Amino acid sequence: MEKQNFIPILFSTSMVKAILEGRKLMTRRTKGLDFVNKNSNLFRYDSCDDTYGDYDSREPDATLHWFENIDENGKELEKYVSVKCPYGKVGDVLWVRETFLPTIINGKKDGNWYKASVDITSQLIIKWKSSLFMPKAACRIFLEITDVRVERLQDISNEDAIDEGIERLNVASSMMCYKSYVVKGGGTGVYPYVSFQTLWQSINGKESWDKNPFVWVISFKRIEKPADFK
Protein backbone atom coordinates (compact mmCIF):
# COMPACT_ATOMS: atom_id res chain seq x y z
CA MET A 1 0.00 0.00 0.00
CA GLU A 2 1.29 3.45 -0.92
CA LYS A 3 2.36 5.57 2.02
CA GLN A 4 -0.06 8.28 3.09
CA ASN A 5 1.16 11.85 3.18
CA PHE A 6 -0.08 14.26 5.83
CA ILE A 7 -0.89 17.78 4.62
CA PRO A 8 -2.00 20.65 6.90
CA ILE A 9 -5.11 22.59 5.92
CA LEU A 10 -6.87 25.56 7.54
CA PHE A 11 -10.62 25.83 8.00
CA SER A 12 -12.70 28.61 9.49
CA THR A 13 -14.59 27.93 12.71
CA SER A 14 -17.91 27.69 10.85
CA MET A 15 -16.49 25.13 8.41
CA VAL A 16 -14.95 23.11 11.25
CA LYS A 17 -18.43 22.95 12.78
CA ALA A 18 -19.77 21.76 9.43
CA ILE A 19 -17.14 19.00 9.33
CA LEU A 20 -17.93 17.92 12.88
CA GLU A 21 -21.65 17.81 12.02
CA GLY A 22 -20.99 15.76 8.89
CA ARG A 23 -22.23 18.53 6.55
CA LYS A 24 -18.93 19.41 4.89
CA LEU A 25 -17.57 16.71 2.59
CA MET A 26 -15.44 18.77 0.19
CA THR A 27 -13.51 22.00 -0.18
CA ARG A 28 -12.52 24.26 -3.07
CA ARG A 29 -9.10 25.94 -3.02
CA THR A 30 -7.02 28.04 -5.42
CA LYS A 31 -3.61 27.63 -3.77
CA GLY A 32 -0.96 26.70 -6.35
CA LEU A 33 -3.11 27.71 -9.32
CA ASP A 34 -1.94 31.33 -9.42
CA PHE A 35 -0.23 31.03 -12.82
CA VAL A 36 -3.22 29.67 -14.75
CA ASN A 37 -5.59 31.95 -12.86
CA LYS A 38 -3.75 35.09 -14.00
CA ASN A 39 -5.77 34.60 -17.18
CA SER A 40 -7.91 31.53 -16.65
CA ASN A 41 -9.72 31.99 -19.97
CA LEU A 42 -6.51 31.12 -21.82
CA PHE A 43 -6.22 27.69 -20.22
CA ARG A 44 -8.20 24.47 -20.31
CA TYR A 45 -7.76 21.68 -17.78
CA ASP A 46 -6.44 18.55 -19.44
CA SER A 47 -5.77 15.72 -16.99
CA CYS A 48 -3.86 14.34 -14.03
CA ASP A 49 -0.34 13.07 -14.77
CA ASP A 50 -1.08 9.46 -13.83
CA THR A 51 -2.65 9.11 -17.30
CA TYR A 52 0.57 10.25 -18.99
CA GLY A 53 2.70 7.59 -17.35
CA ASP A 54 1.15 4.93 -19.59
CA TYR A 55 2.92 6.09 -22.71
CA ASP A 56 6.08 8.02 -21.87
CA SER A 57 9.15 7.61 -19.67
CA ARG A 58 7.90 9.60 -16.68
CA GLU A 59 6.63 7.96 -13.54
CA PRO A 60 2.93 8.56 -12.92
CA ASP A 61 2.32 11.35 -10.41
CA ALA A 62 -1.24 11.74 -9.16
CA THR A 63 -0.43 15.14 -7.66
CA LEU A 64 0.62 16.64 -11.02
CA HIS A 65 -2.11 18.22 -13.16
CA TRP A 66 -1.87 19.48 -16.73
CA PHE A 67 -3.46 22.52 -18.37
CA GLU A 68 -3.35 23.27 -22.10
CA ASN A 69 -3.02 26.75 -23.53
CA ILE A 70 -5.86 28.00 -25.72
CA ASP A 71 -6.38 31.25 -27.58
CA GLU A 72 -9.22 33.74 -27.15
CA ASN A 73 -11.43 31.58 -29.39
CA GLY A 74 -10.78 28.39 -27.45
CA LYS A 75 -8.39 26.90 -30.03
CA GLU A 76 -5.67 24.59 -28.69
CA LEU A 77 -2.13 26.00 -28.92
CA GLU A 78 -0.40 22.68 -28.18
CA LYS A 79 1.37 24.17 -25.18
CA TYR A 80 0.96 22.72 -21.71
CA VAL A 81 1.54 23.84 -18.14
CA SER A 82 1.87 21.40 -15.23
CA VAL A 83 0.74 22.28 -11.70
CA LYS A 84 1.47 20.31 -8.55
CA CYS A 85 -1.55 19.97 -6.27
CA PRO A 86 -0.42 21.22 -2.83
CA TYR A 87 -3.09 19.11 -1.12
CA GLY A 88 -1.80 15.76 -2.33
CA LYS A 89 -3.75 12.95 -3.93
CA VAL A 90 -6.42 10.37 -3.20
CA GLY A 91 -5.49 8.46 -0.04
CA ASP A 92 -3.47 11.28 1.52
CA VAL A 93 -4.65 12.77 4.81
CA LEU A 94 -5.42 16.41 5.56
CA TRP A 95 -4.86 17.37 9.18
CA VAL A 96 -7.04 20.29 10.12
CA ARG A 97 -5.68 23.43 11.71
CA GLU A 98 -8.41 25.29 13.60
CA THR A 99 -8.73 28.10 16.14
CA PHE A 100 -7.75 26.68 19.51
CA LEU A 101 -6.33 27.36 22.98
CA PRO A 102 -4.09 25.11 25.11
CA THR A 103 -5.59 24.63 28.57
CA ILE A 104 -3.34 25.01 31.59
CA ILE A 105 -4.26 23.50 34.97
CA ASN A 106 -1.97 24.00 37.98
CA GLY A 107 0.74 25.25 35.68
CA LYS A 108 0.63 22.18 33.43
CA LYS A 109 -0.82 21.76 29.95
CA ASP A 110 -4.03 19.73 30.09
CA GLY A 111 -5.34 19.38 26.54
CA ASN A 112 -6.89 21.99 24.25
CA TRP A 113 -10.09 23.95 23.76
CA TYR A 114 -11.41 24.41 20.23
CA LYS A 115 -13.47 27.43 19.23
CA ALA A 116 -15.77 25.33 17.03
CA SER A 117 -16.82 23.30 20.06
CA VAL A 118 -17.25 26.08 22.63
CA ASP A 119 -20.55 27.92 23.09
CA ILE A 120 -20.74 31.49 21.85
CA THR A 121 -20.92 33.02 25.35
CA SER A 122 -17.62 31.46 26.37
CA GLN A 123 -15.98 32.49 23.11
CA LEU A 124 -16.36 36.16 24.05
CA ILE A 125 -14.04 35.89 27.03
CA ILE A 126 -11.40 33.55 25.59
CA LYS A 127 -8.29 34.86 23.85
CA TRP A 128 -8.04 32.27 21.11
CA LYS A 129 -4.91 31.28 19.21
CA SER A 130 -5.01 31.48 15.43
CA SER A 131 -5.30 28.26 13.46
CA LEU A 132 -2.03 29.24 11.78
CA PHE A 133 -0.20 28.42 15.00
CA MET A 134 -1.91 25.14 15.85
CA PRO A 135 0.75 22.41 16.15
CA LYS A 136 0.34 18.83 14.98
CA ALA A 137 -0.01 17.68 18.58
CA ALA A 138 -3.25 19.67 18.96
CA CYS A 139 -4.90 18.28 15.83
CA ARG A 140 -8.17 16.42 16.40
CA ILE A 141 -9.65 16.26 12.87
CA PHE A 142 -8.23 14.09 10.10
CA LEU A 143 -9.67 13.95 6.58
CA GLU A 144 -8.74 11.27 4.06
CA ILE A 145 -8.88 12.52 0.48
CA THR A 146 -11.30 10.48 -1.65
CA ASP A 147 -11.15 12.54 -4.85
CA VAL A 148 -9.20 15.43 -6.38
CA ARG A 149 -10.32 17.17 -9.54
CA VAL A 150 -10.05 20.60 -11.17
CA GLU A 151 -12.91 22.76 -12.39
CA ARG A 152 -13.90 26.40 -12.79
CA LEU A 153 -15.43 27.90 -9.67
CA GLN A 154 -18.80 28.73 -11.26
CA ASP A 155 -19.23 25.13 -12.47
CA ILE A 156 -20.21 23.98 -8.99
CA SER A 157 -23.49 22.02 -8.83
CA ASN A 158 -26.23 22.46 -6.25
CA GLU A 159 -25.30 19.06 -4.82
CA ASP A 160 -21.66 20.06 -4.40
CA ALA A 161 -22.69 23.39 -2.90
CA ILE A 162 -24.51 21.50 -0.14
CA ASP A 163 -21.49 19.22 0.37
CA GLU A 164 -19.37 22.37 0.83
CA GLY A 165 -21.07 22.82 4.20
CA ILE A 166 -23.53 25.68 3.53
CA GLU A 167 -26.22 26.05 6.16
CA ARG A 168 -29.98 25.71 5.91
CA LEU A 169 -32.42 28.29 7.15
CA ASN A 170 -35.39 27.23 9.25
CA VAL A 171 -37.27 26.63 6.01
CA ALA A 172 -35.95 23.26 4.86
CA SER A 173 -35.90 24.17 1.17
CA SER A 174 -33.91 27.39 1.60
CA MET A 175 -30.20 27.94 2.25
CA MET A 176 -28.26 30.59 4.13
CA CYS A 177 -27.29 33.78 2.32
CA TYR A 178 -23.86 34.93 3.53
CA LYS A 179 -23.91 38.28 1.69
CA SER A 180 -27.21 40.08 1.22
CA TYR A 181 -26.05 42.08 -1.82
CA VAL A 182 -26.35 38.97 -4.02
CA VAL A 183 -29.97 38.22 -3.16
CA LYS A 184 -32.53 39.83 -5.43
CA GLY A 185 -36.23 40.34 -4.84
CA GLY A 186 -35.95 40.99 -1.12
CA GLY A 187 -35.84 37.33 -0.04
CA THR A 188 -33.45 35.87 2.51
CA GLY A 189 -33.34 32.22 1.45
CA VAL A 190 -31.45 31.17 -1.69
CA TYR A 191 -30.64 28.11 -3.78
CA PRO A 192 -27.56 26.07 -2.78
CA TYR A 193 -25.55 27.39 -5.76
CA VAL A 194 -26.19 31.02 -4.79
CA SER A 195 -25.63 30.25 -1.11
CA PHE A 196 -22.15 28.91 -1.90
CA GLN A 197 -21.48 31.93 -4.11
CA THR A 198 -22.20 34.27 -1.20
CA LEU A 199 -20.07 32.15 1.12
CA TRP A 200 -17.15 32.29 -1.32
CA GLN A 201 -17.51 36.06 -1.65
CA SER A 202 -17.68 36.55 2.11
CA ILE A 203 -14.25 34.88 2.35
CA ASN A 204 -12.55 36.03 -0.85
CA GLY A 205 -14.22 39.35 -1.70
CA LYS A 206 -17.18 40.48 -3.77
CA GLU A 207 -15.35 40.38 -7.12
CA SER A 208 -13.82 36.94 -6.55
CA TRP A 209 -16.79 35.04 -7.94
CA ASP A 210 -16.81 36.91 -11.26
CA LYS A 211 -13.16 36.00 -11.86
CA ASN A 212 -14.28 32.34 -12.09
CA PRO A 213 -10.85 30.87 -11.29
CA PHE A 214 -9.78 27.27 -11.61
CA VAL A 215 -10.09 25.52 -8.24
CA TRP A 216 -9.00 22.25 -6.71
CA VAL A 217 -12.13 20.29 -5.76
CA ILE A 218 -11.09 18.05 -2.89
CA SER A 219 -13.54 15.48 -1.53
CA PHE A 220 -12.81 13.79 1.78
CA LYS A 221 -14.08 11.60 4.59
CA ARG A 222 -13.35 12.01 8.26
CA ILE A 223 -11.16 9.30 9.79
CA GLU A 224 -9.58 8.49 13.14
CA LYS A 225 -6.09 9.74 13.89
CA PRO A 226 -3.65 7.65 11.79
CA ALA A 227 -1.28 5.55 13.86
CA ASP A 228 1.77 6.94 12.08
CA PHE A 229 0.79 10.61 12.39
CA LYS A 230 3.46 12.38 14.45
Q: Which among 3, 4, 18, 16 has a CA at the least distance from the CA of 138? A: 16
Is position 80 within any domain? Answer: no
Stretch 191-217: mean pLDDT = 94
Is position 135 within any domain? Answer: yes
Return d(Cα 223, Cα 221) in angstroms, integer.
6
Give me the pLDDT at residue 208, please.
94
pLDDT tens track for 104-123: 777 777 789 999 998 766 66
Residues 6+ apart with CB under 8 A from 17: 116
Instruction: Please report which confidence band the pLDDT of residue 53 belongs to, taking 50, 70 and 90 as the band edges.
Output: very low
Residue 185 pLDDT > 50, yes or no? no
Give me the pLDDT at residue 174, please.
84
**CB of 114 closer than 8 Å to CB of 130:** no
Instruction: Please report which confidence band the pLDDT of residue 217 belongs to, taking 50, 70 and 90 as the band edges.
Output: very high
Q: Residue 24 in 3-state DSSP?
A: strand
Task: Identify residue 92 by its one-letter amino acid code.
Answer: D
Please state, rounded to an integer, the average pLDDT across all residues of the chain: 88
Residue 50 pLDDT > 50, yes or no? yes
Instruction: Please report which confidence band the pLDDT of residue 56 belongs to, taking 50, 70 and 90 as the band edges.
Output: low
Q: Which among 150, 213, 183, 200 has a CA at the least distance from the CA of 12? A: 200
Q: What is the largest CA-CA distance in the chain?
A: 68
Residue 55 pLDDT > 70, yes or no? no
pLDDT tens track for 154-172: 999 999 999 999 998 876 6
How many domains does the chain fold into? 1
Give me the pLDDT at residue 75, please.
83
pLDDT tens track for 66-106: 999 998 887 888 788 999 999 999 999 999 999 999 987 77
Residue 136 pLDDT > 90, yes or no? yes
Is position 13 within any domain? Answer: yes
Note down the domain range covering 191.
6-32+85-221
Residues 6+ apart with CB under 8 A from 1: none
Is position 37 within any domain? Answer: no
Is position 64 within any domain? Answer: no
Is position 71 within any domain? Answer: no
Interior angle at CA 75, CA 71 and CA 79, nearest 5: 70
Is position 49 within any domain? Answer: no
CATH code of 111's domain: 3.10.400
Residues 6+ apart with CB under 8 A from 136: 95, 229, 230
Cα 166 to chain centroid, rounded: 13
Return d(Cα 174, Cα 47) in angstroms, integer.
36
Is position 150 within any domain? Answer: yes
Task: Identify residue 77 by its one-letter amino acid code.
Answer: L
